[in-house]
A and B are shown apart, each in its own frame.
Chain A
Amino acid sequence: MSAHHHDHDDHHHDNHYSDMQARVRALETVLTEKGLIDPAAIDAIVETYETKVGPRNGAHVVAKAWTDPQFRTWLEQDATAAIASLGYTGRQGEHMRAVFNTPETHNLVVCTLCSCYPWAVLGLPPVWYKAPAYRSRAVIDPRGVLAEFGLTLPETKKIRVWDSTAELRYLVIPERPDGTEAMDEEALANLVSRDAMIGTAIAGAAS
């Protein structure tokens, strides 16, 4: 792409974003004037997902699954309750399922129809998760998608893609990296990235 073309795209992008800024501000003003919304509630929602509900929740779940066999069994049998026992409940986490990577099988989660994502454990989804490239290709060419994340799996490894077409929300429990036997739960949680819990990365690797 030429530098000129790139500048043009950025310009278009900026215009579009300022259009959306005006459109959304107008919408908020109208609804506030009617007493239908509370702008402070919007602030509270944003603060919740910027500071309280994010992938550290999910990493805690994974680390506990690695270190506590009883918890792992509970996750297998009733992920919603097991996750709630750590304090992670609520919106887009009402019906949780944990899926476990093994030496034989790698799991990958997508929502081809919209943007279903386990907010209670991972927070808000990244832009790529909601965009057409990922949603279109995860179900037909997952190896190609994973390569774009820098992850190449052995050719013999099975891949299972979970399309979140109903209200179940999936959390991938990655394999525990080798050589981590001495690490405690908190240190282990630091090895677990958001992408490892979607399936576009593995634990202990940069994402």
Chain B
Amino acid sequence: MNGPHDLGGQMGFGPVAPETNEPYFHAEWEKRALGLTLSCGAFGAWTIDESRHAREKIPPAAYLSASYYEIWIRALETLLARHGFAMPEEIGAGHSTRPAPSPKRVLTADLVPGVLAKGGPCDRPVATAPLFAVGDRIRTRNFNPESHTRLPRYARAKTGVVEAVQGGFVFPDDNAHGKGENPQWVYTVVFDAGEIWGEGADPTLTVSIDAWESYLERV
């Protein structure tokens, strides 16, 4: 979707503000927000792609004024309600008032080291051979779905070169919407800045994205 999250090339946000000796967390609730997000992800009720889409569906004004942990919490509340684990009125009241479904897993403290060390690999075999090879010139498709996609707006309908065939991966545009993993080949595709930004682009700059095969067309 063309949401507030798709920030590449937007202007007006001011300078980057790096913080000297930045702490990992700026408030206690940020620690809990991290832990809650990971703990609820362990339910196995939704995918990382569905959670990303829940974050980008936050209304633009709220998204752009929120800290990232606030974005996580807003999206987590959406996911918990959608899947029946906790309703907004319960969170408003601060107490459970109705039963929840049983998740596939409850992340207890003893499971944490193993779960974090294992992660969630999303490479998958793809039945067909890659359509593109290193060095191929490709053009990215021009589409504007209301659903989830990982092809940023700035890189649509642009001509670039395949630099690497990275393997087969779960296709987020389907997986975010419960349509299955439907893995595709992923390619690193590199563009000259002039192709993306046109007049005045930095002539020394190239930008790459990692693109699923169905984002690409042969030139």
Residues of A within 8 A of B (CB): 17, 20-21, 23-31, 33-38, 40-46, 48-50, 53-54, 89-95, 97, 112-115, 120, 123-124, 126-128, 130-143, 145, 148-149, 155-168, 195, 200, 207
Contacts and interface: CB of A to CB of B under 8 A. Distances in A.
B207 to A, nearest CB: 5
B15 interface: yes
Contacts of B123: 94-95, 167
B6 interface: yes
A98 to B, nearest CB: 13
Nearest to A115: B68
Contacts of B206: 158-161
Looking at A31, A95, A138, A158, the one whose CB has the most chain B CB atoms below 10 A away is A31
B151 to A, nearest CB: 7
A149 B20 CA distance: 11
Nearest to B63: A132
B205 A161 contact: yes
Given A28-B32, A31-B85, A113-B152, A44 B208 contact: no
Given A33-B96, A45-B112, A139-B8, 4 more contacts: A48-B116, A112-B6, A124-B34, A163-B155
Per CB-CB distance, the 8 closest pairs between chain A and chain B, nearest first, are A42-B35, A166-B210, A112-B8, A40-B109, A33-B96, A130-B68, A44-B112, A133-B13
Given A27-B91, A30-B86, A21 B28 contact: yes
Nearest to A145: B16
B143 interface: no
A148 B18 contact: yes
Q: DSSP class of B's interface residues: helix, strand, loop or mixed?
A: mixed
17 contacts: A23-B29, A27-B36, A27-B91, A42-B31, A42-B35, A95-B122, A95-B166, A112-B8, A112-B154, A115-B68, A127-B26, A128-B17, A133-B16, A149-B16, A149-B18, A159-B205, A168-B188
A90 B116 contact: yes
Interface residues of B, number: 96
B209 A163 contact: yes
A130 B7 CA distance: 11
Given A31-B36, A31-B85, A127-B26, A136 B117 contact: no
A36 B22 contact: no
Contacts of A30: 86, 90-91, 94-96
Interface in B12-43: 13-19, 22, 24-29, 31-36, 38-40, 43
Contacts of B67: 127
A11 to B, nearest CB: 16
B9 A139 contact: yes
B119 A136 contact: no
